[in-house]
Amino acid sequence: MRLLEGVRVLDLTNVLAGPFATMHLALAGADVIKIENPDGGDLARKLGNVPALNQELMGTSFLAQNANKKSLTLNLKLPEAQAIFLALVPTADVVVENFRPGVMARLGLGYEALRAVNPRVVYCAISGFGQTGPDAHKPAYDQIIQGLSGAMDVNGDERLHPLRCGFPLCDTVGGLNAAFAIMGALYHRERTGEGQFIDIAMLDSVMPLMAWVAANLLIGGLPPVPMGNDNFTAAPSGVFATLDGCMNIAANQQAQWESVCDVVGLPELKTDERFRKRDVRKANRALLTRLLETKLKEKPTTYWVDALNAKGVPSGDILDLATALAQPQVRHRGTIQSVHEPGIGDLKLFNLTAKFEKTPGAIETPPPRLSAHTGEILGALGYSPDAIDALRQKGVI
């Protein structure tokens, strides 16, 4: 049995935050019906670095987060499409959308309308700022939220600041927050029989990730200082140059710091008053880094990683993305799984990374072609082939 076997999700989301949420539900075994506009579908179908796939509406951005889903096209501006959607709602457990606040209500498909036909439905609305408040109706993409959340303020250093995170941080964590909330609401429904409305904001979602930095300001009264690759909580903790490149060292405990001194051959630093205590070491971070790097530059990264890890000091190479994705630990964990898409070939996609003992997740079907399952889904609702053809001619599907 799969974790969410028997759970049906109507997925009205586009681009990243919403599809990332529903991908996790699909990988956990939910029946996810991706409902897309007949005119091009999800914008992510046209996004990616392979123009030929974009032309096929199978862009790499779409492929990354839509495995295990079915595609149904509905032009929800048309009454016939709205009727089809409302006919699906009683069969569903979850509805997820990431339109701007109020769009679904204006279509007559808001939570109140759906609850009227299915009181058990869990309805999750994902947006940049939430459903209420002074900014609720503003447009938002990941980079906008990165700037408004303070995330760009805590990145970078004195040379490059503010600095955007190199992947869509706010979208993805917003999607994870939504998936977590949906699972919690389904658990609540199992105990009470009640569905409910969930309001997920990307802005809300990303801010708690900065809790340690924010606590220094909210409680300690100290604003963040851009520190680049250094860890503000400890020293030495950050990126250090070696003979053949760079490495990460995270000596966050006193014993680990002392082990660093022994391994690199600078035992005298353990009793040096400039470095003996954590907060003093942090204040003298730049000097400490220079002293350590004089030794670290004598030998290659692999030597230091092995030597420091052997002494219990967390250390590691800094890999390029291709090497990171192919490393033995990632292969061992099954983080990436291949699935065959007939028109493209084998696709390497991320699997469910939570490892359930009883109900493991898996990629079972490739991301769907636009409208690939429209006939199947409408047929299950009782529409005849002739009726489906008529809907297609009218632009409903």
Peptide bond into 134 cis (omega under 30): no
Token reading at 370: 């636009």
Residue (of 148, 129, 149) closest to 138 by Cα position: 129
Query: Contact 67/369 with Cβ under 8 angstroms?
Result: no
> CA-to-CA distance for 231 and 287, rounded, in angstroms?
15
> CA-to-CA distance for 130 and 173, rounded, in angstroms?
15
Length of the chain: 397
End-to-end CA distance of the chain: 33
Nearby residues of 302 by Cβ (< 8 Å), 6 or more positions away: 317
Q: Which residues are catalytic?
A: 171
> CA-to-CA distance for 220 and 217, rounded, in angstroms?
5
Residue (of 322, 316, 328, 327) closest to 229 by Cα position: 316
> CA-to-CA distance for 157 and 136, rounded, in angstroms?
32
Alpha helices in 78-236 (DSSP H): 79-88, 103-106, 111-117, 142-149, 169-192, 202-206, 211-218
Residue (of 138, 203, 148) closest to 173 by Cα position: 203
DSSP conformational letter for 204: H
The burial class, CB within 10 Å (0-12 / 13-18 / 19+), for 128 is buried
SS3 of residue 168 by DSSP? coil
Query: Contact 315/250 with Cβ under 8 angstroms?
Result: yes
Residue (of 92, 94, 19, 31) closest to 62 by Cα position: 19
Query: Contact 195/119 with Cβ under 8 angstroms?
Result: yes
Nearby residues of 323 by Cβ (< 8 Å), 6 or more positions away: none
